[in-house]
Chain A
């Protein structure tokens, strides 16, 4: 059965993620309230302002439910602000889901004048570098145990990482036409769904 991907639609560039999924033939659902979390197979937390999205998660009573889903293995992908919201440590008091053990530096490259585009190698997606748009972007300063880096800039700065179903990118694949990161996340969702359906078989093929 085709998966339903929830896109957290409290604030930010959620429509761009919906369109990217649509181009891959996948249905998405805007998640604006707790009830919209029911029955989703994966969740994307879009770019936006992490402080705003965090506060809205709190006032809408969604922080704990999303955290619980993540802990239970729901694949979740955070882009930019979404990466910050997944992190355990962002160096300042603000609501995050604390699902992915990474240390994050917010606005790490400077102000808007330092926002940039670059072609970043992402070995997991093949040889062709990924067209990455960084907007007041964070960086990953520390990787916790079990967290794998997926993309680094030429100076070694880590800008994407994953652990199991959790995926975090400091840049915005949804602002480009390159579908590879969305497909990569959908593959995580498919793997999880297959695991749920027949854990023994999947375990055997690992």
Chain B
């Protein structure tokens, strides 16, 4: 299987069975591809998401748009909420830890969830360092605005990447920008002669070995989802056509007029993302999507995407 520098943390029970390998960590993300991961704040919402066809749920206390509105420090989801949501569904459950807060991550691992999102939606706990993710048995997903940031996170052990977008806005523009930065960065690597790769690695601030891998493979060594601003079926299909392998929807579902229908419609548009007639059909009668925010109306210090480095 594919390995990334230092990624082979292997836990063996002596029976030739190996747990928490790079293959099992990245493998779960492979199984989520083509799917929609939905933010939920209650067990009822989690069940609704599962019924609508979500491939996983993200358990958190407040959706990003409420975090934005209410302000204050946003932290890891409360353990009892995570446990209740885990109890409510059979699909994988993810939860968020603050950037750099490795103890929140340890707590989430102890809760036996399926994936940790080291997320800029929460208030960062460390202004210089992200979590050393290879040290964990549980896999991590991290946000990225460009290829360099994606490869730094993978170097630290992220087994899945999502483009950041600007969470809680219902505005797709930043998601599109970040996704294009990542896919455009990959295309540039593919056409670069080998002797340029070290300098490109330096400029990207990315591990050289990963830069070489991406140049050769023409894709990230882990699954790439899109997050931050998806509010409609057409938004989801847009980012899928731009090269995302799946979609995170945060506030877009439960801040819409009809969450169940919106959720089902986004799931369908993500599967048949090239079929405009089908997307038109499922987009009918959804009512108001979430209101959304113009990026210029957000004060710079309230932007979430620039958190992390």
Contacts and interface: CB of A to CB of B under 8 A. Distances in A.
Nearest to B26: A175
B35 A52 contact: yes
Nearest to B20: A113
Contacts of A10: 34, 271
A27 B1 CA distance: 24
Interface string B24-68: 100110111111000000000000001111111000000000000
A47 B168 CA distance: 31
Contacts of B53: 51-52, 55-56
A111 to B, nearest CB: 5
A154 B30 CA distance: 27
Contacts of A134: 24
Given A13-B31, A175-B27, A136 B114 contact: yes
A51 to B, nearest CB: 6
Q: Majority SS of interface residues in chain B?
A: loop
Contacts of A172: 27
Contact of B24 (A33, A56, A107, A117): A117
Contacts of B1: 175-176
Contacts of A48: 31-35, 55
Interface stretch (B11-19, B99-107, B188-196, B286-294): B11-19
A73 B149 CA distance: 50
A114 interface: yes
B90 A118 contact: no
A113 B113 CA distance: 8
A107 B272 CA distance: 27
B264 interface: yes
Q: Range of interface residues on chain A? A: 35 or more
A11 B35 contact: yes
Given A12-B33, A48-B35, A154 B15 contact: yes
Contact of A106 (B17, B20, B54, B90): B90
Contact of A116 (B19, B54, B275): B19
A112 B28 contact: yes
Interface centre among B24, B114, B137 (most CB of A within 10 A): B24
A12 B34 contact: yes
10 contacts: A11-B34, A15-B33, A32-B272, A47-B30, A47-B31, A52-B267, A112-B28, A112-B138, A113-B109, A116-B17
Interface of B: 1, 15-21, 23-24, 27-28, 30-35, 50-56, 90-92, 109, 112-115, 137-139, 264, 267-268, 271-272, 275
